[in-house]
Structure 1
């Protein structure tokens, strides 16, 4: 009971943080019909600035850290990103009215990472004075890229299988018709139905992994983070970091949360166009994914001394869903998937749940874990 009371007290205090307040404020403003709008260029610039700051701090920390300490958390980040997609393939994909490609795209987006949620989690943790490994933010690509690659590969395999099954079904039908008419027009290898032209049968149809990874790395959010990491690791940016990026971080984040709140309300309309199971998934998935990552992070905590704050940040990353780089990557990789399904469920429900509930939940658990 003492554990539960301690956790609920800490959870309640997290809900009063400015970061979450601005998110809820954006939702309320949009719900009241306000015409307040933040230009998209400003939104992208704010995200760039926040991720550059996170990358710089991570790069500086990695430069002074023992790389071996990162190996197990990084491995767990990879496992989590892949596992999230497979969970969607055996849960959401099995629900009535849900297309498999839409479910895989949704799983990929929820397995990928939101830079804004990562920045929000870091801000709340720093405001609470919670210590964590500065390189923990660098776990972002270790979860983001495997999730997107897994979703696109599974969707490609599924699509090719469907095409092959359809082809074979048509082939069987043609054979049956030919036999009934006394001929055999679709002899394998013949002019009307040779197996050489079977969909998915050529080497050129194989899923290419590197273009998917390349697209993910070239996405604006991940590029900004990686640039910051490289600069923090290879240069000495401490002076500009402390005088420019650090003071602006919380103010920029508050604007970003306001924008995300308004965007969440606007996306509710898109979510109504698709099956209600997406709303159920978006409510449950962020917390489920976060708990999986928290459990794996706890293993790293026991075995390698990974800090409770680092465990919380790993869980926050897992609870997030990509809001910038993920959607264009999935649009290109799974063109047959419905963006209203995976983007609507992520932006309208998944991200607000990850920020408003996931961040205080996992930070509260980490505080309790750390005593």
Structure 2
């Protein structure tokens, strides 16, 4: 793709991590089709954030790029960013309160979820479109192809991992979604601190402008269909 080592490391961090919105959308699709999945997949999603960022810093330092040291600010950005705190916090609250707690707030959480998700995805589409227009100079055909091919490669690894772990059909589909997605919330914030020389136009346009819409339109339906076919 002819990216600089620093940009390549930043892209690796995004694709080694996960997209929370893609994951939430996939869980909504599964729920709409009546397909159950393991509840702990939320914790799996949270656990996949930090290793990707640490690996990117290692790759950047090995290739001679300028990577900031793993100081307290960077660890705070990695482990205490908003999406991780909300994800883990929601998981723990659900674990403690159980179904009775969910029944009490169902009208506030479940009923408006689809509408709020639609509005959020529309906003993300606008952001992605603006990013594509502003990144014409750096988005070569090879880089764009990477943003379309990498989700398929990641999903294939997710399929293998899900089957090896004995996950349910829904669990396998979510593992494919996680492995085939790319972060555009938590990791970009960490990259601004950890790899300040990396070009945001490259990694943000790839993750948000290419891979994110691909996963929403093609990826999620395809991964669910594959999981159902494999699960029989």
How high is the TM-score relative to the length of structure 2? 0.90
Give 5+ residue unaligned stretches, structure 2.
Answer: none
Q: 1:280 aligns with which of 132, 145, 151?
A: 145
Distance apart, 1:111 and its partner CA = 1.6
Find out whether 1:238 has 2:143 as its counterpart.
no
Give 5+ residue unaligned stretches, structure 1.
Answer: 1-94, 164-204
The answer to whether the 8 Å contact 2:74/2:193 transfers is no
1:62-93 CA deviation, whole Å, 9 max, x = no partner?
A: xxxxxxxxxxxxxxxxxxxxxxxxxxxxxxxx
The answer to whether the 8 Å contact 1:320/1:351 transfers is yes
Counterpart mapping for 1:234-313 below 5 A: 234-235=96-97, 237-276=101-140, 277-301=142-166, 306-313=167-174
| Match of residue 180 from structure 2 | 319
Please report the RMSD computed on the Cα atoms of aligned residues, expressed in angstroms.
Answer: 2.1
SS in 2 for 1:247: coil
Distance apart, 1:140 and its partner CA = 0.8
Q: 1:133 aligns with which of 38, 45, 65?
A: 38
SS in 1 for 2:27: helix
Structure 1 Cα separation of the partners of residues 75 and 104 of structure 2: 31
SS in 1 for 2:63: helix
The answer to whether the 8 Å contact 2:17/2:183 transfers is yes
| Match of residue 152 from structure 1 | 57
Distance apart, 1:216 and its partner CA = 1.8
1:213-271 CA deviation, whole Å, 9 max, x = no partner?
A: 43122211112112212222234532344232111211111111211222222211233
Counterpart mapping for 1:165-180 below 5 A: none
Q: 1:358 aligns with which of 209, 219, 223?
A: 219
| Match of residue 143 from structure 1 | 48
Change (3 A) 1:209 1:141: farther
The answer to whether the 8 Å contact 2:135/2:205 transfers is yes
| Match of residue 194 from structure 1 | none
Structure 2 Cα separation of the partners of residues 124 and 309 of structure 1: 10
Structure 1 Cα separation of the partners of residues 152 and 71 of structure 2: 29
How many residue pairs were aligned?
229
SS in 1 for 2:35: coil
Structure 1 Cα separation of the partners of residues 34 and 47 of structure 2: 26
The answer to whether the 8 Å contact 1:113/1:318 transfers is yes
Structure 1 Cα separation of the partners of residues 75 and 37 of structure 2: 28
Q: 1:331 aligns with which of 180, 188, 192?
A: 192
Distance apart, 1:335 and its partner CA = 0.7
How high is the TM-score relative to the length of structure 1? 0.58
The answer to whether the 8 Å contact 1:271/1:348 transfers is no
Q: 2:206 aligns with which of 339, 345, 348?
A: 345
Distance apart, 1:343 and its partner CA = 0.5
